Amino acid sequence: MSVVRENRESCLILWIDNPPVNALSQEVRAAILAGVTAAASDAKVQGIVIACKGRTFIAGADVKEFGAPPTEPFLPDVTAAIENSPKTVVAAIHGQALGGGLEIALACHYRVAAKGAKLGLPEVTLGLVPGAGGTQRLPRLIDPIVAAEMITSGKPVDAARAQASGLVDAIAEDHVAEAVKFATTKSVAGRRLSERAFQLDAEKFEALAAATRKQAKGATAPGAAIDLIRRTAGKSFVEGMREERALFLHLRSTDEARALRHIFFAERASSKAPDDIGDVKPADIKAVGVIGAGTMGTGIAMTFLDAGLKVRMLEMSDEALSKGLARIQSSYQDSMTKGRITEAQRDQRVGAVSGSTDYASLSDCDLIIEAVFESMDVKKTVFKQLDAVAKPGAILATNTSYLDIDEIAASISRPDAVVGLHYFSPANIMKLLEVVRAKRTSPMALVTALAVAKTTNKIPVVAGVCPGFIGNRMLRAYVREAGLLLLEGATPEQVDKALTNFGMAMGPFGVADLSGIDIGYKARKEMAPGSFEPMAVTVHDKLVEAGHLGQKSGSGFYTYTGGAKAPNPAALTFVEEARSKAGRAARAISDAEIVERTMLALVNEGYWIVEEGVARSLDDIDVVYVNGYGFPRHRGGPMCYARQLGLGNVVKSVTGFGEGSYGKWWPISPALAKAAAAS
C-alpha cells in the first residue's frame, strides 16, 4: 500500500494505491490524515484532491479489520479532519465509492465522478450501519428519503443518478483534472455538511420503514438503520455522530455481522481454482452454444446474452426452437417495459441469439452447454453428436442436476473437455452455479468454467460428482425430515411457516408445489430402493396419484384459487392416513424442533460431503445454500449457523436423532464429531 502525494499546480493530490480495491486499512487512514493535516499549514497548497490508482476509488473499510477492535486513526476522525480542512477538498471518484469510501467522499467539500462510477453505502449487507458519518452526512446533502433508501437497501447508485440527486457535483471524462479545477477554484464556504440539519417527511419515511422491515426478512441491520435515521433527524450533527458510532460498534460484533462477513469472503474464495490446478489460463470464450430451448436452456442463454456474448441455440424441431427464441424475446421486452434495460440493450441482446436444428451450427462455438431432458441415454446421444461437430478445444458442458457426469464423459472421445455447469432456475436470475469437476475434466475446462461464471455474474462453487452434487444431495436430507415431521404431528403449513420465520425464502412444501410434486415422484421411480425414505414421501406420492401436482394443477400441499393460497384439505387427509399407516399418533411439534431437525439434516450431510471430497470446504456449502436454496444470508449458511449453535450441541442433537425411529438416516459424520471435539 502507498499513498503518494503529487503537487499539481497549487493542488495536492493524495493518490491512494492499496490494491485490489483501495480498502481503508489503518495505513491508508493514517496516510490520508497525514496528507490533509500537512496541506492545512502549507501555504503553497490551495486545495486537495483525494483520488485512487487502480480499478476503483475506495471500496470501503477493510472488511478484514472488522473482526478485531478498531485501531487509530479511527475513520470518523479522518472524515472530521477532511471536512474541517481550511483547504477545499475534492473526491475524484472512479469505479466504486462504497461504505467508508463514500463516507470519505461525503466529508470532502465537492465530489467529481468519472462516467460509470457507482456510489453506495452497502454496510447493511454486512450487518452494519455506516460508522463514519454516512447516516448523518448523506441526509444533510440530498433528499433525506433518498438517502435513507440508499442506506437501508445498501444498493449503490450510478454517477448519473448521483448527480441528479446532488450527491456528485460533476461528471467528467478526466475526473482527476476536473477535481483539481474544483479544488483550486471553489471555496469551502457552505460545503461542510456537519453545519447543515435534516428533517424527515414522516409519511414517506414511515412507508420506507415498513417496506424495509418487510424486505429484511429477519435481518436486523436495515431496521436498525431506519431507527437510527428516525432518532437522529433534527438532532445536532455531533449527537447524530455519537449515536451512529455507538450503533456501528455494537453491530459489528453481532452474530449477524459475523455471518455476513463470513459469506462475503466465502463467496470470493469459492470462485478460485482448486489448489492442485496450477497456473492455467482460461480459454477465451466468444461464442456459446446452448442445446435445448426449454425454460432452463433459454435462461442459460440469457445469462450469456446479458454479459454481451453471442449465443447459438439448438433444438430438435423448428417449432421448439421458435418457441424458445420467442420466450427470450418476450423476456427482454418485459425487462425493457419495466425499465430494467434500455431499448438498445434489448435489441442488442435479442440480436445476439440465433438458432438452428443442425448440430453443425455449433461447430465454431467455444463453449457448448446442454440443457436437455434429464436422462442418461438422451444426454449420451447429445454428447456423441457434439463430439462429432465441436471444434478442438471446445468445452462441452452438461447442466444435469444429478446424473453421473463421469459416465457421460467416458462415452465420448474427449472426456477431458466435459464439465458440469449446474444452473439453478431461473438460470438468468439465480446467482449460484455448481461447476462440477468430473474425474477427467481438464484443468483448462475447469478454470474456464470459473472464469465464465465471473463474466456472467454468477457465484461458482466447485463440486465433485455424486448424485445431486452438493446442493440437491443436501436438499434430499432436508426434505426427508420435513416429510417425516408430518407423520409425527406437524402440518405442511406449520413446517413451511417455521422455516420462513427462520428466514428461508420458502418452505419445503411451498417449494414442492412451485416446482411440481410430480418431478420428485418421477425421479424416485428411477432411484434404487433404499436410497430414500419412503415414509417421508407418502403424502407426496398420494398427492401426485390424485392429480394434485402443485401450482401447475391448481393444488398440491396448498390450493391456489384466484391467487389465494390455502392448505389443501386433501393433503391434510393424506397426512392423517400416512400417520395411521406409520402407526403414529400426532404429538405437538414446536417450530424450534422443525428448524432444528431440518437444519441439522443439512449440516450433517454437509459435513459428509466435505469429508468425501465432493465439496472443497464447509464455506463452499454455505455459498451453495445462500445463493441457490434461499437460505437466509444473514445467518451465513447452514455450516456457519451450526458453528453459532455450537458444534457440541449439534453433535448431541444429531446423536439423539440417530436413536429415533428413523435413526438410520442420521449416521453422524466423523468430520462433524471431530470438529465438535476440537471446538
List contacts with ligand COA (CB under 6 A).
20-21, 23, 56, 59-64, 96, 98-100, 122-123, 126, 268
Nearer to ligand COA, 256 or 496 (CB): 256
The answer for residues whose C-beta is within 8 angstroms of residue 57's C-beta and 6 or more apart is 22, 51, 91, 92, 93, 94, 95, 96, 97, 101, 105, 117
User: How far apart, in whole angstroms, are the C-alpha atoms of residue 317 and residue 320?
Assistant: 5
Report the nearest approach of ligand COA to the CB of residue 594 (Å). Answer: 34
As measured in angstroms, the least distance from the Cβ of 24 to ligand COA is 8
Q: Give me the least distance between CB of 58 and ligand COA, in Å please.
A: 9
Cell of 521: 415422484
* Cα atoms found within 13 Å of the Cα of residue 289, Cβ hemisphere only: 29
| β-pair type (459-463, 432-436) | parallel
End-to-end CA distance of the chain: give it in Å, rounded.
36
CB of residue 230 vs ligand COA: minimum separation in angstroms? 22
3-state secondary structure 323-353: HHHHHHHHHHHHHHHCCCCCHHHHHHHHHCE
Q: Are 220 and 259 in contact (CB under 8 A)?
A: no
Question: Of 37 and 457, which CB lies nearer to ligand COA in the complex structure?
Answer: 457
Residue 101 vs 510, nearer CB to ligand COA: 101
Least Å distance, CB 25 to ligand COA, is: 8
Cα–Cα distance, 397 to 419 (Å, whole number): 5
Query: What b-and-e string marks burial along 30-52, b requiring 16 or more CB atoms within 10 Å of the CB?
Result: ebbbebbeebeeeeebbbbbbbb
Give the residue numbers annotated as catalytic, written as ranges.
Answer: 61, 100, 103, 123
The C-alpha cell 454486512 sits at 126
Nearer to ligand COA, 100 or 324 (CB): 100
Instruction: Look up residue 460 and give its amino acid.
Output: P
**Residue whose CB is less far from ligand COA, 100 or 630:** 100
Length of the chain: 679
Q: Which is nearer to ligand COA, 65 or 243 (CB)?
A: 65
Least separation, in Å, of the C-beta of 137 and ligand COA? 15
The nearer residue to ligand COA, 260 or 436, going by C-beta atoms, is 260
User: Which grid cell sits at 599?
Assistant: 437444519
DSSP 417: G
Cell 456459446 found at:
288
Measure the CA–CA gap between 555 and 560, rounded to whole angstroms: 6
Pick 98 or 142: Cβ nearer ligand COA = 98
How near is the Cβ of 20 to ligand COA at its closest, in Å?
4
Of residues 232, 149, 176, the one with CA closest to residue 48: 176
* Whole-angstrom distance, CA of residue 350 vs CA of residue 337: 15
Q: Could you tell me which residues are beta bridge partners of residue 397?
A: 369, 419
Smallest distance, Å, CB 101 to ligand COA?
7
Where are the extended beta strands (E) located within 57-117?
88-93, 96-98, 110-113
Are 397 and 367 in contact by the 8 Å Cβ rule? The answer is yes
CB-CB contact of 331 with 308 (8 Å):
no
| Residue showing cell 453471442 | 310
Cβ proximity to ligand COA, 123 vs 178, nearer residue: 123
Q: Which of 449, 429, 440 is nearest to 300 (CA)?
A: 429
